[in-house]
Amino acid sequence: MSTLSSSILTPNTMFSSTDSSPRFWRDARMPYVELRHISDARQICYAPHSHSHWSLGAVTAGRSTFCYRDASYRIQAGDMVMMNPHWVHACNPIESQPWAYLMLYIDAEWLSQLRYQLGLLDAPEWQDISTAVVTQPNLYTEYCDMAACLLDDQQAIGDKQMVLRECLSLMMQALAQDPPVILPQVSCELEKIAAYLRVNCATDISLERLCQQSGYSAGHLIRTFKQHFGLTPHAYLINQRIQMGQQALKQGQPIVEAALNAGFNDQPHFQRTFKRLVAATPNQYRHSSSK
């Protein structure tokens, strides 16, 4: 990374407080990235969920449990975790032990373009990354310096863009030698059901309707859908609604409007579900340090 990072606060000075409130950084001039950081995550619990973007996190203090698809990992300060788009995951405290973390959310199309420009992909199309946990001090330091740069209000936007690109380029090159991901084949019927849920998540969709579309019985549909996507059709639908709500809140929509537009009947239901999947309230998420 450039010498710019040498003037930035170190992780130890940045994350030494006991503030348990999650904080989010984003900038309209960099719409392809969002950063979450929290200094005291003992009470931060996630239900299993997924995102449409690629995520890269770093544990900056303490220890926690990282559940990713069918595997579970004990991670600690200095470890980095990564999550492919649409892969179900959750990261939670260990018996209320203190821990702190940073989490970067990157637009998959933007990252695909970067990997293609680096010569790591044959085409600028998303390709899953097989690695789940990385413990490499040099990459960890680069990541923390990059996060500090993004969070620093005194840094110019051009410097933030450069540092982010340099950090992710190093990470992608380090991961390039990993074996490709080979996932079980999924039927066209299940893919169509998932696509239908994504497009129509704000509407009421019954299990009976999904069974009619797929030709599956209710039990078979639920079982096979969860086996491939990590969530039942209903949980997948709710997960999509929360992602829609997040996008609305990013754009400054009032919470009640975001809730109704995402298919929730009332604001309290939206708030409870949002906190369960995002581990933050809609108000905390909406009032970020965005520009």
Query: What is the pLDDT, as a whole number, of residue 19?
Result: 60
**Helical (H) or strand (E) element with 76:** strand 71-76
Query: What is the pLDDT, as a whole number, of residue 21?
Result: 80
Average pLDDT over the chain, rounded to whole?
90
Q: Which residue is associated with the tokens 């995102």?
A: 51
pLDDT at residue 209 tops 90? yes
Looking at domain 188-286, which CATH architecture does it have?
Orthogonal Bundle (1.10)
Query: What is the pLDDT, as a whole number, of residue 144?
Result: 97
pLDDT tens digits, 76-103? 999 999 999 999 999 888 877 888 999 9
Question: Of residues 212 and 177, which shows the higher confidence score?
Answer: 212
Give the Cα separation of 44 and 94 in Å (integer). 11
pLDDT at residue 181 tops 70? yes
Is residue 167 within 8 Å of residue 55, measured between CB atoms? Answer: no
Looking at domain 12-175, which CATH architecture does it have?
Sandwich (2.60)
* Global confidence as pTM: 0.88
Q: How confident is the model at residue 18 (pLDDT cuts 50, 70, 90)?
A: low
pLDDT at residue 257 tops 80? yes
Query: What is the pLDDT, as a whole number, of residue 290?
Result: 54
Give the Cα separation of 196 and 189 in Å (integer). 10
**Minimum mean pLDDT among 3-17, 237-251, 253-267: which range?**
3-17
Is the four-CA dihedral 223, 225, 227, 232 of positive or negative sign?
Answer: negative
What is the pLDDT averaged over residues 157-177?
Answer: 96
Q: Are strands 71-76 and 54-68 parallel, antiparallel or unpaired?
A: antiparallel
The distance in angstroms from the start CA to the end CA of the chain is 24
Domain locations in the chain as residue ranges: 12-175, 188-286
Query: What is the pLDDT, as a whole number, of residue 86?
Result: 93
Query: What is the pLDDT, as a whole number, of residue 95?
Result: 79
Query: What is the pLDDT, as a whole number, of residue 291?
Result: 52
Residue 288 has a CB neighbour count (10 Å cut-off) of 19
Q: Are strands 71-76 and 33-38 parallel, antiparallel or unpaired?
A: unpaired
Closest CA to 30 of 119, 171, 159: 159
Question: Of residues 189 and 16, which shows the higher confidence score?
Answer: 189
Query: What is the pLDDT, as a whole number, of residue 11?
Result: 43
Query: What is the pLDDT, as a whole number, of residue 3?
Result: 37
